[in-house]
Amino acid sequence: MAKVLARAEVDTETTWNLKDIFETREAWETELVAIQKDISTVTKYEGRLGEGADMLLACLLAKEELIGRLQRAAAYAHLHQSGDSINPENQMNAAKARDLRSLVNSALSFINSEIIALPDGAIDQYFKDQPDLESFGRSLRLLLQTRPHRLSAETEKVLASFSEILGAPYRIYERSKLADMTFPSTKNGRGEEMPLSFALYENKYVESPDTDLRRNSFKDFSSTLYQYRNTFAETYGTEVKRQVIESRLRGYDTVTDMLLMPQQVTAEMYHNILNILQKELAPHMRKYAALKKRVLQLDKMTFADLKAPLDPDFNPSISFQEAGDLIREALSIFGPEYGKIVSDAFDNRWVDYATNAGKRTGAFCLSIPGVHSYILISWTDSMRGAFTLAHEVGHAGHLMLADKYQRLTNARPSLYFIEAPSTMNELLLADHLLARSNEPRMRRWVIAQLLGTYYHNFVTHLLEGELQRRVYDLAMKNEPITAVKLCELKGDVLSSFWGADVVIDEDAKLTWMRQPHYYMTLYPYTYAAGLTASTAVAQLIREEGQPAVDRWLEVLKAGGSLSPLELMKLAGVDMSKPDPIRSAAAYVGSLIDELESLF
C-alpha cells in the first residue's frame, strides 16, 4: 500500500518557490521586527486627521505602505503552513505573523475612527482641497456608510487587538483537520488496501470509477470525521456566535445584514442566488443523478456516487505539465499581458501541486502585493484537477492585473464578484476542449467535466450557503449550534435538493465538516454568484468575440475600484435582476440534456 508522503519527501519542483517573497526565513524575521518598528510611521498621525486633507492623505499613504509589507510577511508564513501544517516551525511562524497583524490592526484602528468622527461634509471638502485624495475616494465613501454601526474609538481598538483571539475558531478547525486528523486505510474493488487522507478522498477517490473504492473511502473517511463532530460543531458554533454578538453590538438588524455590507450587495441579491438556483437547478441535477445511476448500472444512487465518472473507461489522465499547456492555450484569447501571468505561474514555480501529509486541502490562490500570486492544489492527474487549476489561475490573472492597475486600497473587489474571473477560466477551458474535437465520446466527456464546474459551484458551495443561511437564522433566535443540529440541517438541505432518488445517509450529513468556507463569513454563496456572472459573460464572448473580451479585461483591471454591480455592468451583465441566474440554471439543464442524448 502506497503511503502518504511527508513534506520533506516530495519533489521540490512540485512545490512553490517562496524565495520570491523572502530569500530566507531570517530575512522574513528581520522584516517582522522592521514592520513592528515602522508602525510609528502611521501612528504619528493619530489625533491629527481633522487638520486637513494633506494630513489625511499622508496618513493613508503611510498606512497603505505598511499594510502591503504586512501582507507580504503574513503571506510568507501562511504559505509555509499551508504546505505543511504539521511542521512545528511553520506553526510557530504563522502565530508570529498573526500576532503582528493583530498589533498593527489595533494600532491603526484610530484611522477609521477619526475619519468617521469628522463633521458631515468634511471628506467632501477634503477632496476639493486635495485632488490626490480622490484615489482613496471609494474606500472612504464606503467607510462613511458604516458610520451608524461604528463603536467608540476605544472599543474598536480593543476589538482590533483581539483579532488573533477572535480568529481562533477557524485556526482550530484547520489545525484539527490537517495536523491531528488521521484516517484508516480503505479498500478498492479488488480488496486492496489504499491510503486515505483528506486530499486523496476529496481530489481522487470521490471521482473514482471504482464504485467499491468510492463508497468504501467515503465510509472510512466519514468514520474519522464522526469522531470530531462535537469539537467541530463547538468551533463553528463559536464562530457564528461571535458574528451574531458583533452584529448586535453594531446595531445591525441581523448578522446577515452585517456580513453583506462589505460585499456591497443587497439582501435581495443574496437570497436570489440561493432561492432561484435551488428551485430551478434541482430538477436538472436530479435528472443528472438519474442518468448516472442508469448508465453506471448502480443498485442505488448514494451521495458517494454523485461525482462518479459517467464513462469509466474513457477518463484520460493528464499530467500537471500537460494541464499547464492546455490552460495556456485556452486562455490565449486574453492576449499577451494576461498570457504572461499564466506562463509565469507554470514556469516559475508559483504552483504547489505536491500531495503530502499536513498540506491544506482543496485549492486556493493567494496574491501578494508587489510579488505575484501563489496557487495551492494537490495534483492527481485528473481533468477535474485541470479545471480547478484553471480556476485558480483565473484568480491569479485577475488579482495581478488589479494589483498592476489599481492602488492597494482599490485592488481587491467584493466577495460577490471574486469568483467570476476564476469560473470564467473553467468555462473557457471547456470551450477550448470542445472546439478541439467533435467526436461524440470526447464531447460527452468534456461536458461532464464542465458539469463538474457547475456541480462544485452551483451545488456544493450553493448548498453550503443554504446551510449557512439556516444556521444564522437559528443563531439570531439564540438557538444552540450543535453537531446534532448541524447534521440535521445538512441532511435536510441535501434531501430537499436531491429528492428521494439520492440516498442521503448519516455520512452525507457530516459534509458540513469538510469545508473551511463557513469560517469566511458569507463566502459559499458567492461561488454561485460568480459562476452566474461568468456564465453570462462567457456567452457574450461566444457571441461578440473580441469586444466582449476587451470589456472583460477592463473589468479585471478595475479590481475593487467599482462595486460588483458596476463591474458586471461594465462586462455587459445586470446582476441586480434574476434573469442571469435563471439563464445559468437553464444552461446547466441544456448541458445535461445534451449529455443524455450522447448516451
**DSSP string of 268-335?**
HHHHHHHHHHHHHHHHHHHHHHHHHHHHTT-SSEEGGGTT--S-TT------HHHHHHHHHHHTGGGH
Whether 91 is in a domain gets the answer yes
Is it the case that residue 3 has pLDDT exceeding 80? no
Residue 72, all three cell numbers: 507580504
Mean predicted confidence (pLDDT) in 304-309:
96
pLDDT value of residue 4: 79
Burial of 368 (0-12, 13-18, 19+ CB in 10 A): buried
Whether 48 is in a domain gets the answer yes
Can you tell me the distance from the alpha carbon of 465 to that of 176, in angstroms, rounded to the nearest whole number?
23
Whether 42 is in a domain gets the answer yes
pLDDT value of residue 179: 83
- In contact, 130 and 191? CB cutoff 8 Å: no
What is the number of other CB atoms lying within 10 angstroms of the CB of residue 562?
19
pLDDT value of residue 2: 62
Find the domain containing 109 and state its range: 7-166
Residue 320, all three cell numbers: 500537471
Is it the case that residue 485 has pLDDT exceeding 90? yes
Write the pLDDT tens digit of every residue in 89-98: 999 999 999 9
Is it the case that residue 1 has pLDDT exceeding 60? no
> In this structure, which amino acid lies at residue 353?
Y
- In contact, 530 and 524? CB cutoff 8 Å: no
Write the pLDDT tens digit of every residue in 112-145: 999 999 999 999 999 999 999 999 999 999 999 9
Whether 507 is in a domain gets the answer no
pLDDT value of residue 104: 97
Write the pLDDT tens digit of every residue in 214-251: 999 999 999 999 999 999 999 999 999 999 999 999 99
Residue 509: phi, psi to the nearest 5?
-70, -15
- In contact, 7 and 79? CB cutoff 8 Å: no
Whether 16 is in a domain gets the answer yes
What is the number of other CB atoms lying within 10 angstroms of the CB of residue 248?
14
- In contact, 425 and 331? CB cutoff 8 Å: yes
pLDDT value of residue 198: 86
Mean predicted confidence (pLDDT) in 285-290:
98
Whether 101 is in a domain gets the answer yes
pLDDT value of residue 169: 95
DSSP three-state, residue 195: coil
Is it the case that residue 50 has pLDDT exceeding 80? yes
Mean predicted confidence (pLDDT) in 360-366:
92
Mean predicted confidence (pLDDT) in 245-274:
96
DSSP three-state, residue 499: coil
Write the pLDDT tens digit of every residue in 416-472: 999 999 999 999 999 999 998 888 888 999 999 999 999 999 999 999 999 999 999
- Closest listed residue to residue 389, CA positions, set 326, 307, 435: 326
CATH code, 26: 1.20.140.70
Write the pLDDT tens digit of every residue in 513-552: 998 999 999 999 999 999 999 999 999 999 999 999 999 9
Whether 114 is in a domain gets the answer yes
DSSP three-state, residue 186: strand
Is it the case that residue 313 has pLDDT exceeding 90? no
Which H, E and C letters describe 137-151, residue by residue?
Answer: HHHHHHHHHCHHHCC
Q: Which long-range contacts (CB under 8 A, 24 or more apart) does 182-190 make?
A: 182/224, 183/220, 183/221, 183/224, 184/220, 184/223, 184/224, 185/1, 185/220, 186/213, 186/216, 186/217, 186/219, 186/220, 186/221, 187/212, 187/213, 187/216, 188/212, 188/213, 188/216, 189/213
Can you tell me the distance from the alpha carbon of 519 to that of 525, in angstroms, rounded to the nearest whole number?
13
Can you tell me the distance from the alpha carbon of 104 to that of 114, in angstroms, rounded to the nearest whole number?
17
- Closest listed residue to residue 384, CA positions, set 356, 367, 357, 362: 362
| Confidence bin at 586 (pLDDT 50/70/90) | very high
| Confidence bin at 13 (pLDDT 50/70/90) | very high
Is it the case that residue 42 has pLDDT exceeding 70? yes
Mean predicted confidence (pLDDT) in 321-341:
97
- Mean pLDDT over each residue of the chain, to the nearest integer: 95
Whether 124 is in a domain gets the answer yes
End-to-end CA distance of the chain: 36
Alpha helices of 437-482 — where are they, by DSSP H?
440-455, 461-476
Residue 99: phi, psi to the nearest 5?
-60, -40
Mean predicted confidence (pLDDT) in 577-587:
96
Is it the case that residue 511 has pLDDT exceeding 70? yes
Can you tell me the distance from the alpha carbon of 567 to that of 561, in angstroms, rounded to the nearest whole number?
9
> In this structure, which amino acid lies at residue 263?
Q
Write the pLDDT tens digit of every residue in 366-417: 999 999 999 999 998 988 899 999 999 999 999 999 999 999 999 999 999 9
From residue 553, alpha-carbon distances to 97, 360, 368, 402 in Å are 34, 31, 20, 10
Query: How many structural domains is the chain composed of?
Result: 1
Residue 466, all three cell numbers: 443554504
